[in-house]
Structure 1
């Protein structure tokens, strides 16, 4: 078993954010986790990465309980388990290539990091990764000068500099327009297929989960209420995951350009009738 989450819970005060969650991933796959805001998706990923401690349960990678790790072993795990965030978490005034090189922080001394003293081989690798993601020409620019989609690709490049076994992506396209969302999801899918890396992504739209994921896990109120293939993610199942009634419309949460265009046309037609 590659990754196993066993009866993991997280309690904040009197609030149960994640409630006895269990699932396993046997081989590198692209897994999407969906659910409404507050379902526990982000907390779950943060526990896997050890940014947040679990209240109970076990998380095992190749049989080793990562929740028991501390010190250098914990830092090594966080290098193996890279995290990508919705808000990019870049250093805005730092150039792009330096932001990418931050993915090697766990391998270098604090002195070298403070003075940006990176080996030439690491610099060349960072530029190669940026080139792979189609943004090598942005390497010398400040991160804040880039578009949201470009910044998220820089964040992906930083994660790849860690050479991780797992990439965890917490709502990686939630703040992006449809075009950039597609570019970022295409990049993550390509990394999974070409590198054989496991990708686990929290997603907020059904069409994205169906298009890019091999497996979809649905969470509601801290519990897993669905675990299956994209083809099994029917509208009825989606209603149950999101706690919605019969008026639930998938198109309202779509990130596809075609769906958004259709919604815009429908709104214009409705306005013309008023």
Structure 2
């Protein structure tokens, strides 16, 4: 289904993503892990065509999506939905309208300007919210919801696109452990029930092992691990994070969010050396 061939993105002389290659032959839930700056987000942005690649190919169902332009590129971005760490909702807009924004790629400019939606789409949006356990919040402003609820609204918006692939860029990085679990269970259920490919960038080893079928580890723009959750040992994790013998998985666990924020964790990981 997906084949990545020597995918590279350079910013000046620095390669943020450096000749990344791997193949996925069936719909799976994939976790990409690695410290900040490993190239995880840049990879997803290239896949969604938010950022152009410097070199390489990215083939989905045999078609190089990096070469698409115009309407074909917009169709791919509809087929390949993106979920962001900071939700990217319209805070003062009601929840159901935020979800309906997932249809913007196939609506006319006039309908978009006047916020006009077919009744069928409105019912579909409410059904998706119900599936994610938040239909009772449909008429509330998005800013009135908790972080976990807002992320589920963002997932609902992605599902409105009816995508073949869902990309999630650090979807739980700003959430507490309970909401993080709810969001990850929602993504896993979408994969299991719909058969959609889900690729999620994650900082947490325990989360990657629990929810993903396959885990890809990135370090300094390169793939340094590609295997099953069972193969992600502490030693392997140490190599992915470029850490020494004192490396502790607690540094990447969701449990630490009870007493430390994510930014503090990332600062500590950034100081770890081999």
Q: TM-score range by the shorter chain?
A: over 0.9
* Structure possessing the higher radius of gyration over alpha carbons: 1
The residue number in structure 2 matching 1:183 is 182
Counterparts in 2 of 1:120 and 1:89: CA distance versus 1, 3 Å: same
CA distance in 1, matches of 2:154, 2:237: 30
- 8 Å contact kept, 2:176–2:258: no
CA distance in 2, matches of 1:252, 1:70: 42
The residue number in structure 2 matching 1:142 is 141
CA distance in 2, matches of 1:66, 1:57: 11
The residue number in structure 1 matching 2:81 is 82
Write out aligned runs for 1:1-274 (5 A): 2-256=1-255
SS of residue matched to 2:254: coil
Displacement of 1:113: 1.0
How many residues are paired up? Answer: 260
CA distance in 2, matches of 1:202, 1:180: 17
CA distance in 1, matches of 2:135, 2:27: 28
Q: Deviations over 1:183-240 (max 9, x none)?
A: 0000000000000000000000100000000000000000000000000000000000
Q: 5+ unaligned residues in a row in structure 1: which ranges?
A: 264-274
Displacement of 1:63: 0.6
CA distance in 1, matches of 2:181, 2:203: 14
Displacement of 1:262: 11
CA distance in 2, matches of 1:51, 1:237: 31
CA distance in 2, matches of 1:28, 1:89: 26
CA distance in 2, matches of 1:158, 1:109: 18
CA distance in 1, matches of 2:65, 2:160: 21
CA distance in 2, matches of 1:114, 1:207: 44
Q: TM-score, normalised by structure 2?
A: 0.93
Q: TM-score, normalised by structure 1?
A: 0.93
Displacement of 1:157: 0.1
Q: 5+ unaligned residues in a row in structure 2: which ranges?
A: 261-274
CA distance in 1, matches of 2:8, 2:181: 33
Runs in 1 of length 4+ with deviation above 4 angstroms? 259-263
CA distance in 1, matches of 2:24, 2:252: 27
CA RMSD in angstroms comes to: 1.3
